[in-house]
Structure 1
Amino acid sequence: MLRLIAFAALGALIGGVIVIAVGPPDVGYAVAGVALPVFIMTSVLTLVARSVGNAVGASPQAVQQAKDARRLGVARIDALRQTGTQINDQPLCELDLTVQPLHGAAFASTMRTVVPVTAIPMFQPGTERDVAILLDGGPEVAFIDAGELAPAERSRLRVPPRGSVLFLPVEPHRRIVDGRRRGPLLGVGRAGRPGRIALFAIVAIAAAAIVVVPYHQSVAQAIVALEDGRLRPDLRRPEALAEAQRALQEAIGHDRVVSITVAADFVIVQAPLTVGDTKTDRWEYRYGQVTNDGAASIQPESAAEQFSWSDVALDRVWTLMQDGAEQVDLPVGDALAYLVRSTDTDVDSPTFARSAGPPQITFSIGDDYGSTSFVADADGSGLTAR
């Protein structure tokens, strides 16, 4: 189970990294910030569990059942080795044992158990200890206090030399429950390794998918953007801008806007709640998703400021920026375009001096030493520098 959790955390971590790269970074960092410590913790616990793989899991109930059934004996410690692992600051040790049961043939085995530092003298080679044999025939044993064996029983038990008895290995990762060996939900042997690897891979992929799927549009756009050497699409380019327009129109519910701001990574639109209404919201398209930020900070004075998406040639924005950059011999860089109605210059018009003229496309190209502003008609013609 720990391994499943570890691989699920690994998948979530990978998904978080993908979202950081192509989606909302704050979401990706939040997911990765949780997944990484979970992955580290479960990995460490898995390594600890592996190191105690052939430690005998002897519950008090299993020991008591062995006592009640008189499955008792004497074990001689033939060797004690520290594994280098510590549990609760106490060494995990490997013990070579030769066991003489009260009933049945003697056997040899090797087990791992935590031996407190203060108890190490009690486990020196040659020392004999009373044990409970958890299952008939062994090899799982648990050390018990002296006194369970009657003096007459203890006196007739002689532990034979280790080399003269059958060696019975302890099956790794097994616990004794209700008189039976119980293994982990997922096996640890070589035979089931391909199946486990497949399961772990499925769990990791599923966890990554759960994180990434809400941002599948960003991932799809990133795959396309990789052709241009970018992790995210440049929304100023025609194909990406058309996708942003489609998503925004669908979310807003109509095609009327007050202004459109186009940047490499986002598109911001101020749109009325309904066509002809002056109450205006701010909408943003970023990372393949549309968000409504509520009321715009500056509300239009009249519905005359509105125009339709179809009134402006959005597919000309990138070309206009390239033309402007060529005129001033500078790269397009992080330039953004602003689309809004021009000021009405007709002194006889009721909307004189208001943003009620024909829509325009404006942008600036520059560097640290200055910038040049450009303006073009809504259809992309008439590019001029200001």
Structure 2
Amino acid sequence: MLRLIFFAAIGALLGGAVVEYVGPPDAGWGIMSIALPVAIISGTFILIGRSMAGGVAASNDDIRRAIDSRRLGLARVDAIRQTGTQINDQPLCEIDLTVRPLRGDSYATTLRTVVALTELPAFQPGLLRQVVILLDGGPEVAFVDGELSPAEVAHLAVPDRSAVRFVPMQSHTRISGGRRKGPLIGVGRRGRPLRLLVFAIVAVAVAVAVVMPYREAVAQTVAAVLDGRAHVDMRQPEPLAQAEAALEREIGHDRVMSIYVTPDFVIVEAPVTPGTTHTDRWMYRGGQVSHSGPVSVQPKTPEEAFSWDDVDLSAVLPGMDEAASQSGLPVGDAGATVMRTSGAPDTDSFGQMVGPVAIRFSLDGDYESASFRMSADGSGLTRD
């Protein structure tokens, strides 16, 4: 189970990294800030579990059950080795044992267990320790004291290690309810390909689940990379059309007060309800639409609004390219604003933004800048 959690966390990390690259700023950090500690903690426990392979985990009930069944014996410590791993500042040791049960044949085994520094003298080679044999036939044992009578101890002669069969401990198992139980997913070599496949599927599934809400941004980024760009340019016709559709869908109608297009995002100020001046701000970035609430300066009249259909947003970048060709200034990261112009000077609407819709932008160079305007359909490019 820990390994499934570990690979799920790895998948979340990968998905979070993708979201951070293609989505809104910091969108992936929240996911990664949770996934990384989970991966570290589960990975640490996996390493601890791996180092404890060959150890014995048994409950007090299982030990008591074995004692009551008189599955007792003597074990001689043939060798003890520190593995170099410490758990809670205590050494993890390998202990070679030769076990002589009260009933049944003698056998040799090697046990991995944490031995407190103060208890190391009790495990010196040659010493005899009383043990309880947790399952019939072993090899799992637990050390106990005082369960054998002096007569039973005198009767038990532990043979030479070379004269008995070696029974290895089964890795990553525990004794529960009088039975040997292994992990949910095995750890042996035979099932390794299948395990790796399962872990890979889990990681990919979690990564896909994390990225799924940003699939539009992923598709846009892939298209940009195939076109030779590292990131999406929202001024390009296709992502700009996707932004328009998403914003119109979230706003709930096609009326807007202004549109601001940049390489990274599109901001729209739109009336909450068509025909009113109550206007909110919406942003499309990284495939997501966010709503930031009322704008600081509200329109003076509902007539400032216009329809998405009144403007050809696909003309924004070509217009910038044409302006750059005329002026010699770079397009760079220039943004464009789309809104109505002021009413004519000789009319009652002078000073009110109720005139024809226009597209405005500025190009900046090292020593000069220039402002440009064109009609909503992209025609009539002029320099202000």
- Corresponding position of 1:70: 70
Alignment of 1:191-210 (within 5 A): 191-210=190-209
- Corresponding position of 2:365: 367
1:309 has 2:299 as partner: no
Deviation at 1:27, TM superposition (A): 2.2
C-alpha separation in 2, matches of 1:323 and 1:213: 38
- Corresponding position of 1:248: 247
Deviation at 1:99, TM superposition (A): 0.8
Task: List per-residue Cα deviations over 1:243-296 (Å, max 9, x = no partner).
Answer: 111112222222221111111111111111232211111111111122222212
Whether contact under 8 Å (1:336, 1:364) holds in the other structure is yes
Q: Secondary structure at the match of 2:7?
A: helix
Structure 1: segments with no counterpart, 5+ residues: none
C-alpha separation in 2, matches of 1:253 and 1:81: 72
Q: Secondary structure at the match of 1:25?
A: coil
C-alpha separation in 1, matches of 2:31 and 2:133: 48
Task: Give the residue type in structure 2 aligned to 1:378.
Answer: A
C-alpha separation in 1, matches of 2:361 and 2:125: 85
Deviation at 1:368, TM superposition (A): 4.3
- Corresponding position of 1:34: 34
Whether contact under 8 Å (1:21, 1:231) holds in the other structure is no
Task: List per-residue Cα deviations over 1:36-94 (Å, max 9, x = no partner).
Answer: 11101111110110110110112211111111111111111111000111111111100
Deviation at 1:321, TM superposition (A): 0.6
C-alpha separation in 2, matches of 1:273 and 1:103: 86
- Corresponding position of 2:100: 100
Task: Give the residue type in structure 2 aligned to 1:104.
Answer: G
Deviation at 1:199, TM superposition (A): 1.4
Deviation at 1:231, TM superposition (A): 4.2
Greater CA drift, 304-313 or 28-37: 304-313
Task: Give the residue type in structure 1 aligned to 2:7.
Answer: F
**What TM-score does the superposition give when structure 1 sets the normalisation length?**
0.96
Q: Secondary structure at the match of 1:208?
A: helix
Alignment of 1:84-95 (within 5 A): 84-95=84-95
C-alpha separation in 2, matches of 1:322 and 1:275: 34
C-alpha separation in 2, matches of 1:372 and 1:228: 29
Whether contact under 8 Å (2:79, 2:95) holds in the other structure is yes
C-alpha separation in 1, matches of 2:286 and 2:344: 39
Q: Secondary structure at the match of 1:355?
A: coil
- Indicate which of 333, 354, 357 corresponds to 1:356: 354
Deviation at 1:19, TM superposition (A): 0.4
Q: Secondary structure at the match of 1:327?
A: helix
C-alpha separation in 2, matches of 1:341 and 1:57: 76
The total of aligned residue pairs comes to 384
Whether contact under 8 Å (2:329, 2:369) holds in the other structure is no
Alignment of 1:1-386 (within 5 A): 1-145=1-145, 147-347=146-346, 349-386=347-384
Task: Give the residue type in structure 2 aligned to 1:384.
Answer: T
C-alpha separation in 2, matches of 1:72 and 1:206: 49
C-alpha separation in 1, matches of 2:119 and 2:57: 19
Whether contact under 8 Å (1:19, 1:25) holds in the other structure is no
C-alpha separation in 2, matches of 1:328 and 1:130: 94
Task: Give the residue type in structure 1 aligned to 2:368.
Answer: G
Task: Give the residue type in structure 2 aligned to 1:39.
Answer: A
Q: Secondary structure at the match of 1:356?
A: coil
C-alpha separation in 1, matches of 2:66 and 2:348: 101
Task: Give the residue type in structure 2 aligned to 1:251.
Answer: E
Q: Secondary structure at the match of 2:26?
A: helix
Greater CA drift, 186-195 or 222-231: 222-231
Task: Give the residue type in structure 1 aligned to 2:350.
Answer: F
Whether contact under 8 Å (1:22, 1:231) holds in the other structure is no
C-alpha separation in 2, matches of 1:39 and 1:336: 41
Whether contact under 8 Å (2:82, 2:92) holds in the other structure is yes
Whether contact under 8 Å (1:54, 1:173) holds in the other structure is yes
RMSD: 1.3
Q: Secondary structure at the match of 2:337?
A: strand
Q: Secondary structure at the match of 2:15?
A: helix
Structure 2: segments with no counterpart, 5+ residues: none
Whether contact under 8 Å (2:94, 2:111) holds in the other structure is yes
C-alpha separation in 1, matches of 2:79 and 2:266: 73
Greater CA drift, 317-326 or 247-256: 247-256
Task: Give the residue type in structure 2 aligned to 1:191.
Answer: R
C-alpha separation in 2, matches of 1:310 and 1:172: 69
Deviation at 1:300, TM superposition (A): 0.9
C-alpha separation in 1, matches of 2:191 and 2:75: 34
Whether contact under 8 Å (2:24, 2:288) holds in the other structure is no
Whether contact under 8 Å (1:110, 1:170) holds in the other structure is yes
Whether contact under 8 Å (1:57, 1:174) holds in the other structure is yes
C-alpha separation in 2, matches of 1:321 and 1:151: 99
